[in-house]
Amino acid sequence: MGFTGRPRVAVFTLGGTIAMQAAPGGEVTPALSASDLLTAVPGLDEAGVELTIHDVANKPGASLSFCDLFGLADAISSALGDGSAGAVVIQGTDTIEETAYLLDLLIASDGPVVVTGAMRNPSLAGPESLRQ
Protein backbone atom coordinates (compact mmCIF):
# COMPACT_ATOMS: atom_id res chain seq x y z
CA MET A 1 0.00 0.00 0.00
CA GLY A 2 1.47 3.34 -1.05
CA PHE A 3 1.49 6.54 0.98
CA THR A 4 -1.49 8.73 0.06
CA GLY A 5 -0.63 11.69 2.29
CA ARG A 6 -3.79 11.04 4.33
CA PRO A 7 -3.85 9.47 7.78
CA ARG A 8 -4.76 5.79 7.71
CA VAL A 9 -7.44 4.51 10.08
CA ALA A 10 -8.05 0.77 10.51
CA VAL A 11 -11.72 -0.21 10.88
CA PHE A 12 -12.59 -3.56 12.46
CA THR A 13 -16.09 -5.04 12.61
CA LEU A 14 -17.32 -7.73 14.96
CA GLY A 15 -21.08 -7.70 14.21
CA GLY A 16 -23.79 -6.89 16.73
CA THR A 17 -26.94 -4.81 16.45
CA ILE A 18 -25.26 -2.21 14.26
CA ALA A 19 -24.67 -4.90 11.61
CA MET A 20 -28.08 -6.61 11.80
CA GLN A 21 -30.43 -7.22 8.90
CA ALA A 22 -33.91 -8.69 8.88
CA ALA A 23 -34.01 -12.42 8.24
CA PRO A 24 -36.93 -14.60 7.17
CA GLY A 25 -39.33 -15.04 10.07
CA GLY A 26 -38.88 -11.49 11.38
CA GLU A 27 -35.64 -12.10 13.27
CA VAL A 28 -32.57 -9.98 12.77
CA THR A 29 -29.04 -11.37 12.50
CA PRO A 30 -25.62 -9.80 11.99
CA ALA A 31 -25.13 -9.64 8.22
CA LEU A 32 -23.70 -6.23 7.24
CA SER A 33 -19.99 -5.95 6.49
CA ALA A 34 -17.68 -3.09 7.34
CA SER A 35 -18.03 -1.86 3.76
CA ASP A 36 -21.84 -1.84 4.12
CA LEU A 37 -21.64 0.19 7.31
CA LEU A 38 -19.04 2.67 6.05
CA THR A 39 -20.87 3.25 2.76
CA ALA A 40 -23.78 4.61 4.80
CA VAL A 41 -21.72 7.33 6.53
CA PRO A 42 -22.41 10.69 4.84
CA GLY A 43 -19.27 12.63 3.86
CA LEU A 44 -16.85 9.86 4.78
CA ASP A 45 -15.26 9.91 1.32
CA GLU A 46 -14.37 13.58 1.82
CA ALA A 47 -13.09 13.16 5.40
CA GLY A 48 -9.44 13.09 4.32
CA VAL A 49 -8.59 9.67 5.78
CA GLU A 50 -7.58 6.40 4.19
CA LEU A 51 -9.60 3.51 5.65
CA THR A 52 -8.40 -0.07 5.85
CA ILE A 53 -11.29 -2.44 6.46
CA HIS A 54 -11.11 -5.64 8.51
CA ASP A 55 -14.20 -7.86 8.90
CA VAL A 56 -13.12 -9.84 11.98
CA ALA A 57 -16.43 -11.50 12.94
CA ASN A 58 -20.15 -11.06 12.42
CA LYS A 59 -21.71 -12.20 15.68
CA PRO A 60 -24.08 -10.80 18.28
CA GLY A 61 -22.05 -8.93 20.91
CA ALA A 62 -22.79 -11.50 23.61
CA SER A 63 -21.46 -14.28 21.35
CA LEU A 64 -17.94 -12.87 21.05
CA SER A 65 -15.30 -15.16 22.52
CA PHE A 66 -11.99 -14.39 24.18
CA CYS A 67 -10.38 -15.90 21.08
CA ASP A 68 -12.23 -13.31 18.93
CA LEU A 69 -11.07 -10.47 21.17
CA PHE A 70 -7.47 -11.63 21.52
CA GLY A 71 -7.32 -11.92 17.72
CA LEU A 72 -8.82 -8.43 17.42
CA ALA A 73 -6.25 -7.00 19.83
CA ASP A 74 -3.44 -8.60 17.81
CA ALA A 75 -4.88 -7.23 14.54
CA ILE A 76 -5.24 -3.72 15.99
CA SER A 77 -1.70 -3.83 17.39
CA SER A 78 -0.43 -4.90 13.99
CA ALA A 79 -2.34 -2.13 12.18
CA LEU A 80 -1.07 0.52 14.60
CA GLY A 81 2.45 -0.86 14.30
CA ASP A 82 2.20 -0.71 10.50
CA GLY A 83 1.42 3.01 10.48
CA SER A 84 -2.32 3.38 11.08
CA ALA A 85 -3.03 6.60 12.95
CA GLY A 86 -5.79 4.90 14.94
CA ALA A 87 -8.39 2.16 14.94
CA VAL A 88 -12.18 1.97 15.10
CA VAL A 89 -13.96 -1.15 16.33
CA ILE A 90 -17.63 -1.57 15.39
CA GLN A 91 -19.47 -4.14 17.48
CA GLY A 92 -22.57 -5.03 19.47
CA THR A 93 -23.34 -3.05 22.58
CA ASP A 94 -23.96 -6.09 24.82
CA THR A 95 -20.24 -6.38 25.50
CA ILE A 96 -18.89 -3.05 24.25
CA GLU A 97 -17.48 -1.96 27.63
CA GLU A 98 -15.79 -5.29 28.17
CA THR A 99 -14.21 -5.15 24.71
CA ALA A 100 -12.94 -1.60 25.28
CA TYR A 101 -11.47 -2.56 28.66
CA LEU A 102 -9.78 -5.71 27.35
CA LEU A 103 -8.32 -3.84 24.37
CA ASP A 104 -6.96 -1.19 26.74
CA LEU A 105 -5.19 -3.96 28.68
CA LEU A 106 -3.86 -5.82 25.63
CA ILE A 107 -2.80 -3.09 23.18
CA ALA A 108 0.55 -1.53 24.06
CA SER A 109 0.37 1.23 21.43
CA ASP A 110 -0.52 4.80 22.33
CA GLY A 111 -2.56 5.05 19.10
CA PRO A 112 -6.24 5.81 19.69
CA VAL A 113 -8.71 2.94 19.58
CA VAL A 114 -12.41 3.81 19.45
CA VAL A 115 -15.08 1.17 20.14
CA THR A 116 -18.59 1.98 18.90
CA GLY A 117 -21.95 0.31 18.28
CA ALA A 118 -25.66 1.01 18.00
CA MET A 119 -28.75 0.17 20.03
CA ARG A 120 -31.15 0.13 17.06
CA ASN A 121 -30.66 -2.20 14.13
CA PRO A 122 -30.88 -0.83 10.59
CA SER A 123 -34.29 -2.44 9.95
CA LEU A 124 -35.93 -0.20 12.60
CA ALA A 125 -37.03 3.41 12.14
CA GLY A 126 -34.25 5.83 13.06
CA PRO A 127 -31.27 3.46 13.16
CA GLU A 128 -27.98 4.93 14.33
CA SER A 129 -25.94 3.13 11.72
CA LEU A 130 -27.49 3.39 8.25
CA ARG A 131 -29.23 6.14 6.32
CA GLN A 132 -32.81 5.43 5.34
Residue type, 11: V
pLDDT at 121: 63
CA–centroid distance for 101 within its chain: 16
Phi, psi angles (nearest 5°) of residue 12 = -120, 130
Whole-number Å distance between alpha carbons of 104 and 115: 11
User: Is residue 124 scored above 90 in pLDDT?
Assistant: no
* Active-site choice (4, 13, 17, 95): 17
pTM passes above 0.95: no
Q: Which helix (H) or strand (E) holds 88?
A: strand 86-90
Domain 13-116 has CATH 1.20.1630.10: no
User: Confidence class of residue 4 from pLDDT cuts 50, 70 and 90?
Assistant: low
How many residues are present in the chain? Answer: 132
The residues that bridge with 111 in the sheet, in sequence order, are none
Active site residue 4: no
pLDDT at 19: 85
pLDDT in tens, 38-96: 887 878 888 899 999 999 999 988 999 999 999 999 999 999 999 999 999 999 889 99
Task: Say which residues have a Cβ less than 8 Å from residue 24's Cβ, sequence separation at least 6.
Answer: none
Q: How far is CA 33 from CA 2, 57, 62, 90, in A?
A: 25, 9, 18, 10
Q: What is the CA radius of gyration of the chain?
A: 15
Sequence ranges of the domains in the chain: 13-116
- Cα angle 132, 26, 99 (rounded to 5 degrees) comes to 70
